Amino acid sequence: MAGQCQVRFEAAGRTVVADLPTGSGGGKDSVGTRLTVRYQADDPQVVAREEDVGGGGAALLAVMSGVSALLFLVVSVVAAVFVARQRRSDSVPAPAVQEERQRDGE
């Protein structure tokens, strides 16, 4: 099967051969390459590469989502302030225009 990577290691005095989960980076290494794995003590068949357990990808996704949400919020507030100022300036004529209208008899 394409993409299926197996690891062999010692656990509790016996040799275990287990499949790495789909999507792990184990397929990038050559056959026979030594790598560090983590496994569940009660079930050594559940295994993952050390590099896949750190959580760096999930942390990066959380940070990027937070930054995106914050940026969206800031842009929304700036746009709301801009629209409010535009409406306010359009509804109140400038003092010079009011004086001209009074002189012209309007």
* pLDDT tens sequence across 66-90: 999 999 999 999 999 999 998 887 7
Q: Are 22 and 3 in contact (CB under 8 A)?
A: yes
pTM of the model: 0.42
Q: Where are the alpha helices (DSSP H) in the chain?
A: 50-53, 56-91, 95-104
Residue 54, CB-side half-sphere exposure with 13 Å CA sphere:
9
Category of 92 on φ-ψ map: left (φ > 0), alpha (ψ -120 to 50) or beta: beta
pLDDT tens profile 41-67: 888 888 887 777 766 677 788 899 999
CA atoms of 93 and 95, how far apart (whole Å): 6
